[in-house]
Structure 1
Amino acid sequence: MKLQIVPARTGLQWVLQGLRTFKSQPLALAALFFLGMASMSLISALPLIGPVLALALLPCISLTMMVAASEAAHGRKPTPALLLVSFRSGSQHLHSMLMLGCMYAAGFLLIIGASTIVDGGNFASVYLGQTPMTRELAEEPEFQSAMWLSMCLYLPLSLAFWHAPALIHWHGISPVKSLFFSFVGCIRNIGAYFVFGVCWVGVFIATGMVLAIVTGILAALIGSIAGGLMVATALALAAVFFTSIVFSFRDSFSPPDADPSLVDSASDAAPPSDL
């Protein structure tokens, strides 16, 4: 496996490719994302272990969207069966994905636990939906410190898990190695990922501004439609974001010989280098 170094402008290409791919199969990709989120919500409702199991499912949902985006990018329609792609590729693959999910849940819970040291658990309670957010709470210095600490700690966790599901699925790498290679791949192409993140922030802000105007008009006419439009738009944007992730993976790592669907890579990528 080779790590490919790409220029910073490739991050914009990933966003545009995600948007184009979602446009080609909007209903199928949005439905898969919604079903994945709905599954996590149902599982999180289980007593005691539900929220932990839901966290452990996130790498599987990420892989589902990456495989679905790859299918859509090559003219094939993603099907609901892709929701089980993490569990039907052999016992070794299943074991690796389950281990990856457990490690993600453990890492996330450690971050939430670290934030409780700063503010006594207020941020964790709000984040987990146990306490409503209030202006007074948000203005507390301890709450803000816990929030920033969680964000700083979550960034390396996110980088480690960014490509890990795909590395397991397409390259057959062990969970621990996939975390290492994913982190290194993101750091070596940090310019492209920075542009990718900035572009997505711009998309979210621009969409939010347009949505605020539209919902403001609709709320004055038909209030119930405005709320539904906001939820639908948020879900669609999240689905497009997850759709674009596969292109960052495709251009960061050389494709395996067994899967020609990942052969298309950035035309302006530099020569690959060993990990």
Structure 2
Amino acid sequence: MKLNIVPARTGITWVKLGIKTFMMQPLAMSGLFFMFMAMLSLATLVPFIGAALALALLPAATLGLMAATQEATKGKFPMPSILISAFRAGQQRMRAMMVLGGLYAAGFLTLMGISALFDGGEFARLYLVGGKITEELLLQRGFQTAMWVALALYLPLSLLFWHAPALVHWHGVTPIKSLFFSLMACYKNLGALTVFAFAWTGVFLFAALLVSLIASVLGNPALATVVMFPVALVIVAMFFTSIYFTFRDSFLATPELPTDSGDQPADLS
């Protein structure tokens, strides 16, 4: 397999493609995103193992949204069944995706366990189980330290798994190799991914500013809080739509995954 190295400005292209593709099929993509969220939320309700189960399903569910994006780029209407694409690709790849999910759950729970060393598990409990966020809790030094430690550890974890589900599903790469290839691709294209992250942050901040401005003009500041929630969900749905393009352009094109990138590929080895 070949890695395709893209310029940093490609991060902006990925954001644009995500928004454009979402607008091509807004009902389908938003509906699938809400189903994605509902599926993970229902998984958390399973007694004792709910949080771990939801984490284990996340790679497969994310792959489902990527497959939906691929369908939308072809002008097709992605059906709800596409969300379980990872479990319909044959037993070998289904098992590989389940292993990948288990590794992700183990990695995430491990980093939460490390964060618990700094605040007795308050942040991990709040994140995994839920609870009330109080000002007193947020001001606790131990809680803040645990939060930043978890964030710092999550960055390398996310890079390991960023491309891994797609590599397993579309290229038949083994789970462990997919983690290595994903990390290598993210490292080589770190500039584009950084621009990608900052661009999406800018989109969100612009939307928040616009909603607040409109609410102020209408003389109803409280409207901003009500409107911003669905707007934020739509932006997150667009973000997930754009993830497919970060994968498509980071690896050498195959018959299944055409790419417009004109950059020269590099050997992963």
TM-score by length of 1: 0.92
Counterpart of 1:30 in structure 2 is: 30
Counterpart of 1:272 in structure 2 is: 265
With over 3 angstroms needed to count, the CA separation of the structure-2 counterparts of 1:226 and 1:202, relative to structure 1, is closer
Superposed displacement of residue 237, structure 1: 1.1
Q: Is the 8 A contact 1:215 1:229 kept in 2?
A: no
- What one-letter code is carried by the residue in structure 1 that aligns with 2:229? V
Counterpart of 1:233 in structure 2 is: 231
Identity of aligned residues (%): 49
Range with greater deviation from structure 2 (177-186 or 227-236): 227-236
Q: Could you tell me how far apart the structure 1 residues matched to 2:229 and 2:219 are?
A: 14
Q: How far does the alpha carbon of each residue in 1:58-112 deviate from its partner, in whole angstroms, 9 at most, with x for none? A: 1111101111111111211111110110111100011011111111111110111
Range with greater deviation from structure 2 (231-240 or 146-155): 231-240
Q: Could you tell me how far apart the structure 1 residues matched to 2:178 and 2:18 are?
A: 23
CA RMSD of aligned residues (A): 1.8
Q: Could you tell me how far apart the structure 1 residues matched to 2:218 and 2:84 are?
A: 39
- What one-letter code is carried by the residue in structure 1 that aligns with 2:260? S
Q: Could you tell me how far apart the structure 2 residues matched to 1:181 and 1:194 are?
A: 18
Superposed displacement of residue 186, structure 1: 0.2
- What one-letter code is carried by the residue in structure 1 that aligns with 2:107? G
Q: How far does the alpha carbon of each residue in 1:128-168 deviate from its partner, in whole angstroms, 9 at most, with x for none? A: 25331122221222111111100110000000100001101
Counterpart of 1:194 in structure 2 is: 194
Please list every run of 5 or more consecutive structure 1 residues that lacks an aligned counterpart in the other structure: none
Q: Is the 8 A contact 2:99 2:175 kept in 1?
A: yes
Counterpart of 1:207 in structure 2 is: 207
Counterpart of 2:242 in structure 1 is: 244
With over 3 angstroms needed to count, the CA separation of the structure-2 counterparts of 1:219 and 1:133, relative to structure 1, is farther
1:119 aligns with 2:119: yes
Report the secondary structure of 1:198's partner residue: helix
TM-score by length of 2: 0.94
Superposed displacement of residue 119, structure 1: 0.9
Q: How far does the alpha carbon of each residue in 1:222-242 deviate from its partner, in whole angstroms, 9 at most, with x for none? A: x7x866533322221111001
Superposed displacement of residue 124, structure 1: 1.2
Q: Could you tell me how far apart the structure 2 residues matched to 1:43 and 1:208 are?
A: 31
Counterpart of 1:167 in structure 2 is: 167
1:70 aligns with 2:70: yes
What are the equivalent positions in structure 2 for 1:46-125 lying under 5 Å apart? 46-125=46-125
Please list every run of 5 or more consecutive structure 2 residues that lacks an aligned counterpart in the other structure: none
Counterpart of 1:12 in structure 2 is: 12
